[in-house]
Amino acid sequence: MTYSIVARDAANGDLGIAVQSKFLSVGSVVPWARAGVGAVATQAYANVAYGPDGLGLLEGGASAQETLDRLVAADALRDQRQAGVVDAHGRAATHTGRHCFAWAGGRSGPGFAAQGNILAGPGVVDGLADTFVAGGRPFPELLVGCLAAADAQGGDRRGRESAALYVAREGGGYGGGNDRWIDLRVDDHTDPIGELGRLLGLQQLYLDRPAIDDLVRLDETVGAELRSLLGGVGAGPGSGFADVYQPLSALSDAEEVAEREARPMTGTAAPLPSTWDTTWQAALEDWMAVENLEERTAAPGWIDRRVLDFLREKAGAASR
């Protein structure tokens, strides 16, 4: 009832799965991944144990093909299962049981396994595979593009309902605390792939950390502009934004400074211009927290370019 691709990003080792189905919340069933280990898609009459069990086998040193062979051999309903596996080395394997509903099949190659069942035809799997091989886009966008190409070839014969994108990256989760870099699900939608692409854009805005090259130096001009923009959205020092996040126990000045400095940020602090000071820096960070942009926090003396553009848009809308 589904088509999917499991893949490894050859550039950095990220592991991901993209999937679409005429099935409610396909992301709760099909995709499984662990950074540095591998990725698994389990579908058709899905055996969800293939996910954790497969990752366990991969972590124990089994290759993608060995993992899939062992999962299938131990399954009495193997002929009704479909699955794809990719390991941390980019080796891949796919299985389609002989009792899966037509059209059903899969393709695998270096770094990917693509598969589907109840499809319009083999062109759906070719759309997944050929799009991945062609590359030319960042890994998450490429996986969504694979789904779009498969959909253009007819996709699931029953129609569209849900889609999901899962990408595991070491330390890629919120605050760097786990490997769940991207975990997006469209559970019920008339255009699940299009909606998945929209959510990916929001994920990148809110949760991606900027690279050093994305930072803008706070000079006299930028500092003055930031003060004007923050004032335009009502987020200057002493505004209500600072009141949104109030700790249960009052912090001393030293504790507050220590907590701010302990939060993840990009870059190294630089001298502040005369148009900017620590009070305005705190106001900027308070506004960013309310807007859920805290993962894009830059060291004092810098600002992420996307945050600056976002603030410009917000201030422009507020002035209209």
What mean pLDDT, rounded, does the chain reach? 95
Residue 193: predicted pLDDT: 98
Only one residue has tokens 């959909």, namely: 151
Contact 9, 56 (CB under 8 A): no
Burial of 297: CB neighbours in 10 Å, binned 0-12, 13-18, 19+: buried
Residue 320: predicted pLDDT: 80
Query: Distance between CA atoms of 78 and 88, rounded to whole angstroms?
Result: 25
Contact 22, 151 (CB under 8 A): no
Residue 73: predicted pLDDT: 98
Query: Distance between CA atoms of 139 and 177, rounded to whole angstroms?
Result: 21
pLDDT in tens, 237-276: 999 988 888 888 888 878 877 877 777 899 999 999 999 9
The segments of the chain whose pLDDT lies below 70 read none
Residue 243: predicted pLDDT: 85
How many CB atoms lie under 10 A from the CB of residue 318? Answer: 11
DSSP state of 153: T
Who contacts 224 (Cβ-Cβ below 8 Å, separation ≥6)?
Answer: 275
Q: Which of 96, 34, 38, 29 is nearest to 67 (CA)?
A: 38
Residue 260: predicted pLDDT: 72
Query: Distance between CA atoms of 260 and 237, rounded to whole angstroms?
Result: 16
Only one residue has tokens 């940020």, namely: 265
Record the tokens describing residue 271, joined without a space.
């001298």
Query: Distance between CA atoms of 87 and 13, rounded to whole angstroms?
Result: 10
Residue 77: predicted pLDDT: 98
Residue 190: predicted pLDDT: 97
Query: Distance between CA atoms of 259 and 303, rounded to whole angstroms?
Result: 19
Coil, helix or strand at residue 264: coil
Burial of 261: CB neighbours in 10 Å, binned 0-12, 13-18, 19+: exposed
Is this model's pTM higher than 0.75 or not? yes
CA distances from 264 to 175, 176, 179, 208 (A): 7, 8, 16, 12
CA distances from 251 to 248, 258, 259, 320 (A): 9, 10, 10, 38
Query: Distance between CA atoms of 15 and 17, rounded to whole angstroms?
Result: 7
Handedness of CA 83, 184, 149, 120 (dihedral sign): positive
pLDDT in tens, 23-45: 999 999 999 999 999 999 999 99
